[in-house]
Amino acid sequence: MSAAVLRRVIDHAPIRDSTYLVLLILAHESDTCGASGPTIATIAGRSRLSERQTQRVLRKLESKGQLFVVRCRRDFGRGNGIGQGYAYYVTSGLNRDQMLDTLRTHPLLKHVKHSPERDVAKIVERQL
């Protein structure tokens, strides 16, 4: 758990209701960079939402620029490394430079094809 990420969400997230709850759960699960890798079932169970509703909420958070989602190997955070999963980067309260730094240096993203500059530009555009 990262207290700093949790504090960023509490202080800066411009959202409410179940969307806010899911973002708090992801912040609670995150490392110091804001990355976490819980399954949809885990998030749904903790938020008391259905798995389908949880998926809708995650897409909504991503569309509002509060979350950056990366498809990755399942061994992020736990598991046996078999299969695919998702990593969620909580971007609430981060400025452009902080997001770029995170997306350039986080170990999970070394093996993922992406352009940090393009990704951050999309996130910043969605936050406005």
Mind listing the pLDDT tens digit for each residue in 66-95? Answer: 888 887 655 555 545 445 678 888 888 888
Band (116; pLDDT cuts 50, 70, 90): low
Q: Are 90 and 84 in contact (CB under 8 A)?
A: no
8, 117, 122 from 109: Cα distances, Å: 22, 13, 17
Q: Quote the pLDDT of residue 41.
A: 93
**What is the extent of the structural domain holding 81?**
3-127
Quote the number of domains for the chain: 1
Q: Which residue has the tokens 């730094």?
A: 101
What amino acid is encoded at 124 in this protein? Answer: V
Q: Quote the pLDDT of residue 46.
A: 95
Q: Which residue has the higher pLDDT, 17 or 82?
A: 17
CATH of the domain at 77: 1.10.10.10
Predicted model pTM: 0.78
Q: How confident is the model over 18-39, as a mean pLDDT?
A: 89
Tell me which of 19-28, 57-66, 91-100, 101-110 is least confident: 101-110
Mind listing the pLDDT tens digit for each residue in 38-54? Answer: 889 999 999 999 999 99
Q: Which residue has the tokens 């909580």?
A: 90
Is the pLDDT confidence value at 8 over 70? yes
Label each residue of 55-69 as H, E or C: HHHHHHHHHCCCEEE
